[in-house]
Amino acid sequence: MDIENAYMGRILVADLNEGTCEEEELTEEMVKEHIGGAVINLALYKQHVDRNPIVFGTGLLTGTFAPSSCAGVMTGKSPVTGRVCHVPLSWQTAVELKYSGYDFVVVLGESDKPVRLWLHDELAELADAGEVWGRDVWQTTDKLRYEHGDDYVQLIGIGPAGEKGCRIAQISEGAWGSRDVFGMGLAMGARKLKAIAMRGLGSLEVADGFFDECLEAQQELRKGASFEKQGLVALLEALGVDAADLEPIKQKVHRHVASFNCAYAANTFLMIDEPPGLLKESKKDEPGLLLTDPAGVISLLFLKEGLPVVLREINRQGLDPVACGALLKKEGVAEAGEAVKRVQALAGEEVDLEDAGVENVYGIAPWPLSEALEARLIQAVSVFSHAVPLSPLGGGWADVSVGENPVERAQWWLDRMAVSSILGICPIAALLSPEFTLQKMAELGAKAVDWDELTEEALLKQARKLVQETHALDEANGTVPSSWASADLDGALEKLRQGWEG
């Protein structure tokens, strides 16, 4: 195995109590045992469980030529649900992490003063974050990029919501939110960890023939029907959102942007303070916002024309747009100006969605379009972020050779998410491209590191082990909400669990 084709070989352990950064070696044995990504995250989580760690990790293929190899994963215990969760990182974040010289970062303990991590060129520095503590996500991003002199510095950070103990605080990847629906922004805030800034000028070795194989795979993916379109709006249409509801967004679309090496441009930039047809650089500091999270947009659609400005404020405050949408709707706040003010206030409140009467907020609510049993099953397992759509994108279930059995459908989704989180494949791309089979992903992984034993079967085995072990940690904590209990759910969940053991 040529591990240097996939990993930098370093694990960083940042102890916030001690203010230290120590390096450990990511060994070939670890990769052989766990493959990568979320499975290694979980192993590191268990290793340090008495310090309530947060683990940031990269997949085996993250940052390689493999299609959609933009993803990483954050693993930790949600301060809201008490469950261990795996939050996907996309955009450029995980790629930057790996290229900064660290494959995995374990954050231990809590600091007594605001701190930030600066990762660059195989160096890790825990620095004082006094200058950015109290600043919103955008200000923090700007300030740290200025401090390090490079707009390509990527960040995982929090806004005022995470600092102030808000339970719907979200981590933000750069300026544009994330798929964290587990309140991990609060987890970072409680540790007084304001941000992890990363800049990587490193590089990976490339196996003979790997580039050509990736290029071929990418070209194959592009033949798929989904790739005739682009942008987040098209994804929402594929999910069945009413076209009329999307009209206010469509009118503001400026451009579509792909995450690192993704064949599908899944992010859409909206112009707010400038005409959407603008073809020159705006003189305004930030004239719009990037939509990255379909779940958040769905939750806020009721705001109609007001959606972009409210979502912009949600991003700045470092809040979960899914939860904000549910809460604003429950409170009947639909006017944009009023909603912006409410969002600003929310960042300073503890916010308990169950107390607020928001139904199933950590269950089915983010996806109001579907209450199908498979969707409830997925969320009952609650290992991966349900800000990622809970079904195949593009052609739907018909495209992916899975029948109507909800247990099989849930298992298909869990397998896709788990494998993506292990290899570092964008979870949206994994749902969008039935052509990108698990077998193909395994082949690319095997080719990348010259490791014949990485087969589809081996990958699936690790994927199911990941779900099972993460889920088992949840059960140990006794955190499955009783409100989810129902005859059909309980029976199906049991069948699903039996499948993992089989």
Partner 1 sequence: MERDSASLRVGVYVGEGASHSWTWFVDLMEKYAYSRLRLIQEDDFPRLAPEQDILLMSGGDTFAVARALEPPGARALEDFLQRGGLYIGSCAGAYLPLNSSKAPLDAFNFVKCRINNLTRDLPPVHQMPLKFSTRYGCDYIYHPVREDVRVRMEEDFPIWGGREVSVPLYGGPPLNLSEDIVPRAFYTGFTERTRFLTEKEIAETVYLGKVAACEKSFGKGRMVLLGPHFEHPWFPEGNDIIHQWIEWHVHPERPAVNTEMGRKPGKKKKQRVRKGVLAPQIQKDFKREISNMRIRAHAMTRQSVHWQIGAKVYEPEKIVHFVDAIWKRLEGTRSPSSGTPSKGLQEVLVEQAAECNALLKSLTSKVDSREDSEELAGEMFASLRALVVAFLGVYFNGEEIRGQ
* Closest to partner 1 by CB, 125 or 242: 125
Angle 298-431-373 from CA coordinates, rounded to 5°: 65
Residue 279's Cβ-count burial label (10 Å; 0-12, 13-18, 19+) is exposed
Stretch that binds partner 1, among 60-68, 145-153, 204-212, 293-301 (CB under 8 A): 145-153
> Which residue of 25, 50, 149, 209 would you call a contact of partner 1, by CB under 8 A?
149
Query: C-beta of 145: minimal distance to partner 1 in Å?
Result: 9
> Which residue of 23, 24, 150, 415 would you call a contact of partner 1, by CB under 8 A?
150
Query: C-beta of 202: minimal distance to partner 1 in Å?
Result: 11
Residues paired with 106 in a beta bridge: 13, 55
* Closest to partner 1 by CB, 132 or 319: 132
In the 3-class helix/strand/coil scheme, how is 114-127 assigned residue by residue?
A: CEEEEEECCEEEEE
Cβ contact 436:67 at 8 Å:
yes
Query: C-beta of 382: minimal distance to partner 1 in Å?
Result: 38
> What's the DSSP call for residue 276?
T
Query: C-beta of 24: minimal distance to partner 1 in Å?
Result: 17
Cβ contact 184:330 at 8 Å:
no
- Is residue 23 near partner 1 by the rule CB under 8 A? no
- Distance between CA atoms of 60 and 69, rounded to whole angstroms? 9
User: Backbone dihedral region of 108: left (phi > 0), alpha (psi from -120 to 50 degrees) or beta?
Assistant: beta
Q: Which two tokens stand for residue 297?
A: 């947009």
First-to-final CA distance of the chain: 29
> Which residue of 50, 112, 151, 285 would you call a contact of partner 1, by CB under 8 A?
151
Quickly tell me which residue has 């469509």 as its tokens. 250
> What's the DSSP call for residue 9?
-
Query: Residue count at the site for partner 1 (CB under 8 A)?
Result: 13
* Closest to partner 1 by CB, 146 or 211: 146
* Closest to partner 1 by CB, 24 or 331: 24
* Closest to partner 1 by CB, 77 or 120: 120
Of residues 170 through 199, those in contact with partner 1 by CB under 8 A are 199
Query: C-beta of 147: minimal distance to partner 1 in Å?
Result: 9
- Is residue 4 near partner 1 by the rule CB under 8 A? no
- Distance between CA atoms of 66 and 281, rounded to whole angstroms? 32
Of residues 112 through 131, those in contact with partner 1 by CB under 8 A are 120-121, 123, 125
* Closest to partner 1 by CB, 223 or 283: 283
Angle 262-268-274 from CA coordinates, rounded to 5°: 145
* Closest to partner 1 by CB, 100 or 268: 100
* Closest to partner 1 by CB, 143 or 330: 143
Stretch that binds partner 1, among 83-91, 108-116, 151-159, 481-489 (CB under 8 A): 151-159
Query: C-beta of 132: minimal distance to partner 1 in Å?
Result: 17
- Spatial CA neighbour of 477 closest among 181, 44, 49: 49
Quickly tell me which residue has 């192993």 as its tokens. 43
Cβ contact 66:214 at 8 Å:
yes
Q: Which two tokens stand for residue 403?
A: 């029948």
Stretch that binds partner 1, among 141-149, 175-183, 388-396, 445-453 (CB under 8 A): 141-149
Query: C-beta of 151: minimal distance to partner 1 in Å?
Result: 7
Cβ contact 364:371 at 8 Å:
yes
- Is residue 205 near partner 1 by the rule CB under 8 A? no
Query: C-beta of 174: minimal distance to partner 1 in Å?
Result: 16
Q: Count other C-beta atoms under 10 Å from residue 208's C-beta.
A: 8
* Closest to partner 1 by CB, 51 or 148: 148
Residues that bind partner 1 (CB under 8 A): 120-121, 123, 125, 146, 148-153, 199, 201
